[in-house]
Structure 1
């Protein structure tokens, strides 16, 4: 590693050490890779070596993670990655806040919490606005957190039902070869929604809610002509709406309802010259009261660190290709 600066952190007990190191030293390896330092543990001491700024930042991350262990929270790789991302952004002081509130308990009784500062901003926006737009790459937790907030609202009795939809861009050729009606054809594309629901409330509860109409999952075409009162409405993959579809969807908002619109403007599947309704909405609705836009970046991706690097590499490649075209 670059530099020869060294600093020690002393654990108070073996429980803290075991919790921080992780199975087969997995958390240490993440720290080494993410912070570009060497980390060794001997006895009660964790030693970090490398460039001074990286070493000092790593020790602060270790201190923050150990603080969670003291509260009885079992660390996983996501926690380590979140701490590193927040350190990089200068928001590590808020790290502990992420774990003070449980948004919901999942099917196995585990606490569901936000994983980074970007998700915290997203949740706060949802709480304080009628319509929240979450814009950014896959892996930032947009869809999952939207479902969490919808279920929490249903549980509190704030809404009577949850409606989840997405545009069926593939309803032309590629969906045409699949059996069944439009809903059956689009269901495979809504798999992430079903997965989130099954993880949070279990498959039996999900089916029961859907049978009763408490949870409705349908293509965007099914929203036309409806006014949706007392509902929590989620539009996923919104980058694939046309401007007309986006306007149609947003004007379905009824009394006692709330909307979340999620999308990734780098993954638009619309035909050539068709403009994305999500991109247009960013321009038109920026100054409208009770609507907030939260933009996620690669730094907000809560998957393996390599995923963020992959996104950055593709973004850099796209920029390079664009500059070559212009030249």
Structure 2
């Protein structure tokens, strides 16, 4: 049996790291096969495997560090940090508490949650054209929209243009009721959802009426002048060369 201790300095950070009903610590215990016990101002981590105990201690200390910088600790954070610690990349965890990219209409800060997302956001800021490639649900569209809103609020661009190829999945566009906008809306829904979250419905509609935000299928973008614009081409794998 191996045991290591961690000194607990601030109660708020400890509560944040433990999570409600100790759910975050339970994840670490399950993943690392260790036992974590809080005694006075110390945290005792014990287990049969010395390496697992060391990993658990590193993960808890990394979570404490993130918590001290005001980061919310949740299951996603915990599992990602366990993954980084196991792969020997715990030195990069400090980079996760990065700058706020954008603040939503409800006041929630949007930040890069993984090292991959951080690189992606930095690439968008530095380069004229950025290609984001990755599995579904990794924040490619959402972070791109957040970067667009941040640039628009900072007056770096005058327009946000959202576009994606309206590729049919067996059905025909003419089958859908309404005018052209109504027909392409279902294809552009992920972009709308992200914009509603960042700007709120009222502000979004105001900018849409003024032409500051434009949503269009890719087929209608040919020959357009795109000065001072932040353009997001979503689902670009469906475009032809």
What TM-score, normalized to structure 2?
0.89
Could you say if the C-alpha distance between residues 131 and 21 of structure 1 is closer, same or farther in structure 2, counting changes exceeding 3 Å? Answer: same
1:150: Cα distance to partner? 0.6
Aligned residue number for residue 123 of structure 1: 121
Q: State the alpha-carbon separation in 2 of the partners of residues 72 and 96 from structure 1.
A: 12
The alignment of Structure 1 onto Structure 2 pairs a total of residues equal to 239
Matching of residue 31 in structure 1 with residue 20 in structure 2: no
CA contact (8 A) 2:32 2:55 kept: no
Aligned residue number for residue 189 of structure 2: 191
CA contact (8 A) 1:48 1:58 kept: no
Structure 2 portions without partners, runs of 5+: none
SS in 2 for 1:173: coil
Could you say if the C-alpha distance between residues 185 and 49 of structure 1 is closer, same or farther in structure 2, counting changes exceeding 3 Å? Answer: farther
Give CA deviations for 1:160-182 in whole Å, capped at 9, x if unaligned.
11001111111862544221233
Which one has more relative contact order, counting CA pairs under 8 Å at least 6 apart? Answer: 1
Q: RMSD of aligned C-alpha atoms?
A: 2.1
Q: State the alpha-carbon separation in 2 of the partners of residues 41 and 172 from structure 1.
A: 57
Could you say if the C-alpha distance between residues 208 and 30 of structure 1 is closer, same or farther in structure 2, counting changes exceeding 3 Å? Answer: farther
Could you say if the C-alpha distance between residues 93 and 159 of structure 1 is closer, same or farther in structure 2, counting changes exceeding 3 Å? Answer: same
Q: State the alpha-carbon separation in 2 of the partners of residues 134 and 242 from structure 1.
A: 17
Aligned residue number for residue 135 of structure 1: 133
CA contact (8 A) 1:165 1:235 kept: yes
Aligned residue number for residue 10 of structure 1: 7
Structure 1 portions without partners, runs of 5+: 244-327
CA contact (8 A) 2:165 2:219 kept: yes
CA contact (8 A) 1:103 1:113 kept: yes
Q: State the alpha-carbon separation in 2 of the partners of residues 196 and 30 from structure 1.
A: 30
Matching of residue 40 in structure 1 with residue 18 in structure 2: no
